[in-house]
Amino acid sequence: MSTLRTALRDYLSLQRGLGYKYVHQERTLTSFVLFMEQRKTAFITTKLALEWATQSPGRHASWAIHLSDVRGFARYLRNSEPRTEIPPTGLIPRSGRIRPYLYSDTEIQTLLTAALALPPEQALRRWTYHCLFGLLVVTGLRIGEALALRRDDVDIEEGILTIRGAKFGKSRLVTIHPSTRQVLLDYAHRRDVHLATPHSPYFLVAERGGQLLPQSVYRVFWDLSRQTGLRAATAHTGPRLHDFRHRFAVATLLDWYRAGKDVDNLMPVLSTYLGHTCIRDTYWYLSACPELMEHATRRLEKRWEALP
C-alpha cells in the first residue's frame, strides 16, 4: 500500500471518528490518490491538485468542491510530510447556492398521480414511489433519510419517524400528520401483502423486497418529471428531489408569517426538524423566496418604527 493510500485510510478514520460520514469524500480522495500514484508523486502540490480537480470538462460546480476535499487532506498530510502544499482557497470560485425550485400544489399532485400509474399494474412499485415522493413533500426529509427508514423507525400509531445517523451522524424525531400516517399505514399493508416474507428491514422497499436504491429513485423521478412536463424531454437539469425539502421549509415559513407568528423564535424549531446543524442554513430560505424576503423586510420595518 502506498504512503498516500495509508495516509488516506488514517485520515478517513479520523474524520469518521469525529462524526463525519465522509462517503463522497472517500470516493473523491481515492480518485485523487490514484491520480497521484499514476504520476509517481509521493506528496501533494497545488499544481497537481488543480490539474486533477479540473480534469472533468464543463463541470465547474464540482471543481471547487473536489479541490476543497483535497485541501482538507493536504492539511492533515502536512503534519507528516513537510513538502505537502495546501492549495489556497479561491483558486476555483465556488458557484452560488442553487436557488430551489418551488413546486406548485398542482405539479406535486400531477407527479403523485403519475407515480400511481407506474407499470406493472399489480406491482408494489407504483405504491412505493407514491408513498416516497409524498413523504418527501410533507416532511422535508432528505432522500437518503427517507430511504434509510427501517420498519422500527416508523411508529405509525404515534405518528413519529426516527431519523437515525442523518447528516453529521445526528439523529432526530420527526412528527407526521394523521393523513400521512394513513398513507404510510396503507403502504405498509400493501407491502406486507405483496411480500409474504420480509426480505429487508427497510420500510420502503424495491419490488422484490430489497433496499430501494437512490439511483433507481432518481431514474424514476427523472422519467416522471419529463412525462409530467416538469422537465423537457431531453433536459438534463430541472426540478430536483431535494427541492421537495426546500418547498417544505418555504411553505412552513410562509404559513408562520401569514399567521402573524414570531418566526425568529420558531426558526430553531424548523432548523431542528429539518436536521440543520446550523440555523444559518434555515435562515437561507428567507433570501431564496421573494415572498419570504418581503415578509421578513416588513417585520424588520415594524421593529424599526417601534423604536423611540
Q: For this structure, is 40 an active site residue? A: no
Task: Check 5, 78, 242, 299 and give the catalytic one.
Answer: 242
Q: For this structure, is 199 an active site residue? A: no
Distance (Å, rounded) from C-alpha 5 to C-alpha 244? 39
Distance (Å, rounded) from C-alpha 251 to C-alpha 290? 13
C-alpha cell, 129: 414511489
Among candidates 103, 108, 75, which has minimal Cα distance to 7? 75
Q: For this structure, is 142 an active site residue? A: yes
**Following CA atoms 60, 65, 68, 73 in sequence, which dihedral angle do they give, to the nearest 10 degrees?**
-120
DSSP state of 142: -
Task: Check 9, 167, 172, 299 and give the catalytic one.
Answer: 167
Distance (Å, rounded) from C-alpha 59 to C-alpha 12? 25
**Alpha helix (H) ranges present in the chain?**
3-17, 23-38, 46-53, 60-78, 105-115, 125-139, 143-147, 178-194, 214-228, 242-258, 263-274, 279-288, 290-306
Q: For this structure, is 245 an active site residue? A: yes
Task: Check 181, 247, 285, 295 and give the catalytic one.
Answer: 285
Task: Check 130, 191, 245, 247 and give the catalytic one.
Answer: 245
Give the list of residues 6+ apart from residue 8 with CB closer than 8 angstroms, or none.
29, 30, 33, 73
Task: Check 66, 181, 191, 276 and give the catalytic one.
Answer: 276
Among candidates 258, 252, 270, which has minimal Cα distance to 102? 252
Q: 70 and 52 in contact (C-beta within 8 Å)?
A: yes
Task: Check 142, 231, 246, 295 and give the catalytic one.
Answer: 142
Which residues have a catalytic role annotated? 142, 167, 242, 245, 276, 285
